[in-house]
Amino acid sequence: MMKQKITDLFKEKFGSVGEMFASAGRINLIGEHTDYNGGYVFPGAIDKGLMAMIRPDGSNTVKAYSMDYDQFAEFGLEEEDKPEQQWACYIFGVCREIIKRGGKIGGFETVFAGDVPLGAGLSSSAALESTFAFALNELFGCGLDKFELARVGQSTEHNYCGVKCGIMDQFASCFGRKDCLIRLNCKTMEYKYFPFNPKGYKLVLIDSCVKHELASSAYNKRRESCENATAAIRRNHPEVECLSDAKRLWLDEVREEIPEEDFLRAEYVIGEVQRVLDVCDALERGDYETVGEMMYQTHFGLSKLYEVSCEELDFLNRLARKCDVTGSRVMGGGFGGCTINLVKEELYDAFIGEAVKKFTEKFGHAPKIYDVVISDGARKL
């Protein structure tokens, strides 16, 4: 349906048709705020994403139409041509980052639309970046590999959107594969696909619909805390390149030297890196109870040590416990967005019913429920 609408609109705006590309949002089972610390993450692409029809037109400008915003933007490919609309900045950033890497791209026309809920922590922006990075690389024969395409998206966030994010989201939307989660070592970029099809369980996201204004500056601040802690540890242990290299004991050694806040952030990260490995082991044994328990531990850490949760998400997490949900935690960067829940099929209806009812009573608006299916990432349709 989305495909048809995009095609129709493209014809209407630009006269004929182009080629169609797509990419996906992502979930992350465990391993949060570990990516920019060189640790492990465990994401997968989902069945909600973004589609774009694109046609190079031999010009030097980009003419883009966002169906979701019902807005048109036109901009050139030179550094000073940065467009006003935020959504267009992502496309502009991707173009600039490909050009910086030697890709010879020209102007094009595009119409795109997506169904990743915005601000829910499902990486709608990575879906947008990956779709265009993948597509432009194909259409203009730039010869970048998938790692580089993920970095194009990440650098777009850093240089054009003010978020000093890690590589997880763009990696997941470039490398995503149906029915698989991907364990990625963000230091070495080694990765492994894990088939994920937990029989008898469902993965469900509950969106608090809370969005915090200052999320990107708070995110960047977390990153700085981790860098401070790492620098202190490195004075004693020069081999430590990133926080994930540090042992818990080494962090304790510098406790008095760094602000308490930085200590707590680092304490969380060191624990979380280990939890990803424990979850992968548990999955291979089919031990979903352990997977779930680790998710609760992550939530505790994100809420009390890393402090990226909020009242609404803590409420959903406690409610999950009460409803005997196997695992539950805030997902993504935090400061609003979703909890991810691993729930036994037979408990699913009761849990969702209770969550919607109790949440609405307490906060005056209903949460949104998303069932997710692990799907393919960036591709040509």
User: What does the binding site for ligand GLA look like in residue numbers (CB under 6 A)?
Assistant: 32-33, 35-36, 123, 165-166, 168-169, 332-333
Task: Name the minimum Å distance from CB 204 to ligand GLA.
Answer: 19
Task: Name the minimum Å distance from CB 311 to ligand GLA.
Answer: 20
Cα–Cα separations (whole angstroms), residue 96 to 81, 143, 200: 10, 16, 46
Indicate the residue among 211 and 322 with the shorter CB distance to ligand GLA.
Answer: 211
Tokens standing for 301? 């850490």
* Catalytic residue list contains 207: no
Task: Name the minimum Å distance from CB 188 to ligand GLA.
Answer: 17
Catalytic pick from 35, 169, 207, 314? 169
Indicate the residue among 37 and 375 with the shorter CB distance to ligand GLA.
Answer: 37
The helix or strand, by DSSP H or E, that contains position 21, with its residue range, turns out to be strand 19-28
Tokens standing for 145? 């590999």
Mapped onto helix, strand or coil, the DSSP state of residue 32 is coil
Tokens standing for 369? 């429920």
Q: How many residues does the chain have?
A: 381
Indicate the residue among 36 and 201 with the shorter CB distance to ligand GLA.
Answer: 36
Give dist(CA 302, CA 314) in Å, integer: 10
Task: Name the minimum Å distance from CB 169 to ligand GLA.
Answer: 5
Indicate the residue among 140 and 296 with the shorter CB distance to ligand GLA.
Answer: 296
Contact 105, 152 (CB under 8 A): no
Give dist(CA 285, CA 183) in Å, integer: 16
Mapped onto helix, strand or coil, the DSSP state of residue 23 is strand
Q: Which are the catalytic amino acids? A: 169
